Amino acid sequence: MYPLECVPNLSEGRRPEVIARLAAAASSDAETRLLDVSSDPDHNRTVLTLAGTPEGLHRSLLALYETALAEIDLTRHDGVHPRVGAVDVTPFVPLGDTPMEVAVAAAERLGQAVAERFGLPVYLYERAARVPERRRLAVIRRGQLEGFPAKLADPAWAPDFGPARVHPTAGVTVIGARFFLIAFNAVLDTADPEIARTIARQVRESSGGLPAVRALGFFLARRGRAQVSMNLVDYRQTSILKALDRVRREAEALGARVVETELIGLVPEEAMLGVAREALQLPELSWGRVLERTLGAARQGFKPLAIEEKTDP
């Protein structure tokens, strides 16, 4: 099993040929595996999901940064999603029994290398943050790229690595280590972005909503619909189903409804199992009750009951 996941977010979601080159660069090392590519033209953003060894990911990510700086010019970029860099954010996530310290070390090493090789200002966030006030990504990204020159005039906003100036075409980059994040969006039957923004305010933690939920409201021009875009930063505190139920209630109160939802990138299986437990009111549901899991374990010589202990919802 690979020890680390990495989920780089790139400010490009409209040019398939560029996205293909970015994905190829990100998976260029033999010790890195590309698991998923999720792109959205309205957000003008691509999320890659990688898994690999710390060494393999380091080499692949340097190749990704090199390709992104050659392909993405933020002076020509537009999209509804907030961004501060061509490679906007690069989080490392420990997998299995890997300690968080391994992800933090990978983030610090990449940050230093990116700053030295490409002249990019690098900010560390979440568990890798060196400045407590900059732990949350939303704080770093407030004001977006356009607001960064003014930020850098304040010594408190000196980057963790690299020059205290915005790169002319690639902006800045944010690198960190964190727990699993589920990017989950709800598309509404209205084109009114203010309805989506109102729902987002009611749902997100910072406005008194659900714990570990961050949310924004957008208008998706290509679909002609509004969207509530959510990051569930700890599904153990707020599940996908709880977030969706809250969005549905808030939408109905405003005369709207959810017509579809989206997952961006990959989701931990335990998060999906939790949804099934909640929806079915079946707290003892475990993977050991899933036919294919039991058959797979039996083929490998394991007893079905040993697949997984029962887990509280």
CA distance 68 to 239: 33
- 293 within 8 A of 276, measured Cβ to Cβ: no
Which residues, at least 6 apart from 200, have a Cβ–Cβ distance to it below 8 Å? 215, 216, 217, 228, 229, 230
Q: 220 forms bridges with which residues in the sheet?
A: 225
| 3 state SS of 22 | helix
Please report where in the chains the tokens 């008194």 appear, as a residue: 208
CB atoms within 10 A of CB 132: 7
Letter for the amino acid at 70?
A
- Helix (H) or strand (E) segment spanning residue 125: strand 122-126
CA distance 95 to 93: 6
Give the closest residue to 188 by CA, choosing from 136, 242, 241, 252.
Answer: 252
Give residue 142's region: left, alpha or beta (phi > 0; psi -120 to 50).
beta
Whether 81 is catalytic: yes
Q: Which of 43, 58, 77, 81 is catalytic?
A: 81
- 42 within 8 A of 36, measured Cβ to Cβ: no
Secondary structure of 12-23 in the HEC alphabet? CCCCHHHHHHHH
- The catalytic residue positions are 81
